[in-house]
């Protein structure tokens, strides 16, 4: 049984039921969240027709929450009746997604041209390996590759590598304005409603040192540049939510970024609606828990629905996977039942909203397992979270983070599939496609007959 099958088996054993997101346990569910917390979650509040009406009336929310189509949502929010909170929400999510796409591109590049380096690879790959090592938080190897790049090559890519090396030597003060100024893409002035471009792809073309084959290179720094552009646009669009934006971006920041303290900010409903964070306290919990040791969930259980649900499954630093799966399904049922009561009967959208609650529980348990160093539990919980991340539950930043994880594990094929699902909805994310395609080719070419590709 492979890891995905094992994950499903654990899920089904824990829940006592089969099927996908529409499954209903055959036995009555037990409440896993205090009633007052459930009543305050955005899914239950949105079950009220009057509360939901302004969102249903605006096409931007449909494009964002139900379709995850950022260009369409951004155009709608900036149309004849501009909605700054909606604009900020789209830019915020795009900033998170581009950060994870940058992580995907950087990890892929490190695997392809450092861990799987070949004699025929052109010397210019040292430049992009060094940039990638900066992004994944490996400054010492980065210095070596960036220096090698500057010694052996010249041209725009070497100049960019030199800017990153100089930034490291100056103390790596955030943000890296000098290196990003030399990085392709996002030349447009920051303005809410805009969609900056990644520049012309490939960013650079070289030839391999043996057969003269074309080597197409994209700069992963471009994805960070796009992420910071959209973050600035989100803050411009909705200045009153500056603290909430900082809070919501915390879990998605790259390893190179300074974490900083989580601000004491209330997250507006416009930023929670349609997400796997059920209440403002959930956002604070997730932000506070990165990148330190797992948060003390018991201290959050009286205000965070996710903490209340996951806490009984955490013993010290260990996460009980069947327990988390069981409680994720019960949270789905509890939220679904509360929505039906609030709305005077179950409606078609209720299950989509309750699915996000279930995904949120899996992802919180996964986060705790990952920070505890329990890779097996983290992997199983992640597989379950991905299995339920379909339709309106498919949050792009999270799925791109899983793609980055797969790429780091040399599972290039699965990472490429996950990236492809986002390419039409996030213009610019295709920058990560070039190293992934090259890694797939390299793995495929060198796999022995009968040995499955990653």
Nearest of 256, 214, 230 to residue 121 by alpha carbon: 214
- pLDDT of 404 > 80? The answer is yes
d(CA 68, CA 62): 8
Sign, Cα dihedral of 386, 444, 144, 208: negative
Residue 24 has a pLDDT of 36
> Could you tell me the pTM of the whole model?
0.91
Note whether 405 and 429 are within 8 A (CB). no
Chain-centroid distance of CA 183 in Å reads: 23
d(CA 248, CA 267): 8
Note whether 290 and 284 are within 8 A (CB). no
Residue 7 has a pLDDT of 35
d(CA 384, CA 387): 5
Give domain limits for the chain.
Answer: 1-67+276-394, 75-271+397-454
Nearest of 280, 224, 271, 277 to residue 245 by alpha carbon: 271
Q: Which helix (H) or strand (E) holds 216?
A: strand 214-217
Encode pLDDT of 201-241 as tens digits: 999 999 988 888 999 999 999 999 999 999 999 999 999 99
Note whether 65 and 271 are within 8 A (CB). no
Name the residue with tokens 């991905």.
386
Q: Which helix (H) or strand (E) holds 318?
A: strand 318-319
d(CA 96, CA 319): 26
Note whether 237 and 87 are within 8 A (CB). yes
> How many percent of the chain have pLDDT more than 90?
83
Structure tokens that stand for 130 in this block = 């060094």
d(CA 222, CA 429): 10
Phi then psi dihedrals of residue 338, to 5 deg: -65, -35
- pLDDT of 14 > 80? The answer is no
Note whether 185 and 428 are within 8 A (CB). yes
The mean pLDDT value for 245-255 works out to: 96
∠77-232-175 over CA atoms, to 5°? 160
Residue 21 has a pLDDT of 36
Note whether 42 and 273 are within 8 A (CB). yes
- pLDDT of 246 > 70? The answer is yes
Note whether 130 and 112 are within 8 A (CB). no
């Amino acid at each position: 049984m492979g890891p995905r099958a094992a994950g499903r088996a654990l899920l089904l054993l824990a829940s006592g039921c089969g099927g996908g997101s529409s499954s209903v346990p055959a036995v009555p569910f037990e409440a896993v969240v205090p009633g007052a917390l459930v009543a305050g979650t955005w899914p239950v509040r949105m079950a009220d027709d009057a509360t939901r009406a302004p969102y249903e009336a605006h096409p931007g929310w449909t494009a964002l929450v139900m379709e995850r189509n950022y260009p369409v949502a951004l155009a709608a929010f900036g149309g004849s009746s501009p909605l700054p909170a909606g604009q900020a929400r789209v830019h915020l999510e795009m900033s998170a997604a581009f950060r994870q796409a940058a992580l995907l591109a950087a990890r892929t590049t490190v695997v392809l041209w450092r861990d799987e380096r070949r004699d025929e690879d052109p010397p210019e790959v040292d430049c992009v390996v060094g940039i990638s090592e900066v992004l994944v938080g490996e400054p010492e190897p980065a210095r070596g590759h960036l220096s090698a790049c500057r010694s052996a090559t010249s041209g725009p890519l070497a100049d960019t590598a030199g800017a990153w090396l100089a930034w490291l030597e100056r103390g790596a003060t955030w943000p890296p304005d000098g290196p990003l100024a030399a990085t392709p893409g996002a030349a447009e002035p920051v303005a809410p409603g805009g969609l900056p471009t990644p520049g012309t792809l490939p960013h650079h073309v070289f030839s391999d040192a043996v057969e003269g084959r074309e080597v197409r290179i994209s700069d992963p720094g471009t994805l960070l540049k796009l992420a910071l552009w959209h973050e600035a646009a989100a803050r411009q669009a909705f200045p009153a939510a500056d603290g909430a934006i900082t809070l919501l971006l915390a879990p998605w920041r790259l390893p190179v970024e300074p974490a900083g303290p989580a601000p004491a900010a209330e997250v507006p409903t416009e930023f929670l609606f349609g997400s796997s964070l059920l209440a403002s306290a959930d956002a604070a919990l997730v932000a506070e828990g990165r990148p330190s040791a797992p948060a003390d969930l018991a201290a959050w259980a009286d205000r965070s629905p996710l903490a209340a649900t996951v806490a009984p499954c955490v013993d010290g630093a260990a996460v009980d996977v069947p327990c988390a799966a069981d409680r994720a399904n019960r949270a789905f049922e509890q939220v679904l039942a509360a929505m039906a009561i609030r709305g005077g009967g179950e409606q078609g959208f209720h299950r989509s909203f309750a699915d996000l609650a279930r995904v949120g529980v899996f992802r919180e348990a996964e986060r705790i397992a990952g920070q505890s160093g329990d890779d097996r539990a983290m992997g199983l919980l992640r597989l379950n979270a991905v299995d339920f991340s379909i339709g309106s539950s498919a949050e792009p930043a999270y799925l791109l983070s899983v793609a980055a994880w797969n790429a780091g594990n040399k599972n290039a094929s699965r990472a490429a599939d996950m990236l492809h699902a986002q390419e039409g909805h996030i213009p610019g994310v295709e920058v990560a496609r070039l190293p992934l395609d090259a890694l797939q080719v390299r793995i495929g070419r060198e796999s022995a007959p009968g040995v499955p590709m990653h």
